């Protein structure tokens, strides 16, 4: 459907952020022109995969001192040769495609930016594997599935 990551991001520029209700399909996001970060990440992941890339998706969550989850975010990235690219639409302040020298540098950059906007000290990062999720699943199911692979992330 899209010819390049830039083409995808351009098409997504009209998609507005919407609070999560249930996990939407990429088609629903394109049709409604809105979706949560998780919905938009699934769209990015799916389309990049169809372009022949091997995208990766991550889920991050802030947690307070009592173990209560706070803000969450999902993001997608991919590699071309030795350069890693973060593609973002839902986080409007950071929308675009950014290049990094390594996967670790990319993840550190995203999680650091996320951590700066949160009041909680604890941050967790996990895999967002679309194969493990079902369209229409609830936020609690989405979070629980992602958190199965979560590790605490320390901002240095």
The DSSP call for residue 44 is H
pLDDT reading at 8 higher than 80? yes
Helices then strands, each counted (H, E), the chain: 5, 8
* DSSP code of residue 49: H
d(CA 54, CA 93): 26
Burial label for 98, CB within 10 Å (0-12, 13-18, 19+), is middle
- Cβ distance 60 to 82 under 8 Å? no
Q: What pLDDT sits at residue 3?
A: 94
Q: Residue 56 belongs to what H/E stretch?
A: strand 56-63
CATH numbers and ranges of domains, the chain: 5-153 (3.10.620)
CA atoms of 13 and 95, how far apart (whole Å): 9
Interval 30-70: pLDDT, tens? 999 999 999 999 999 999 999 999 999 999 999 887 878 88
At 95, is the pLDDT very low, low, confident or very high (cuts 50, 70, 90)? very high
User: Which is more confident, 126 or 121?
Assistant: 126
């Amino acid at each position: 459907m899209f010819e390049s990551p830039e083409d995808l991001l351009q098409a997504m520029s009209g998609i507005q952020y919407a609070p999560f209700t249930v996990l939407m399909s990429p088609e629903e996001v394109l049709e409604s022109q809105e979706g949560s970060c998780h919905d938009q990440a699934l769209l990015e992941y799916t389309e990049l995969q169809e372009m022949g890339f091997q995208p990766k998706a991550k889920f991050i969550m802030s947690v307070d001192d009592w173990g209560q989850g706070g803000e969450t975010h999902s993001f997608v990235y991919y590699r071309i040769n030795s350069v890693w690219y973060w593609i973002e639409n839902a986080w409007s302040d950071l929308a675009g495609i950014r290049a990094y020298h390594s996967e670790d540098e990319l993840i550190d950059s995203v999680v650091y930016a996320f951590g700066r906007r949160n009041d909680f000290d604890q941050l967790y990062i996990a895999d967002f594997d679309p194969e493990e999720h079902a369209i229409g699943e609830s936020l609690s199911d989405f979070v629980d599935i992602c958190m199965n692979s979560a590790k605490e992330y320390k901002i240095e």
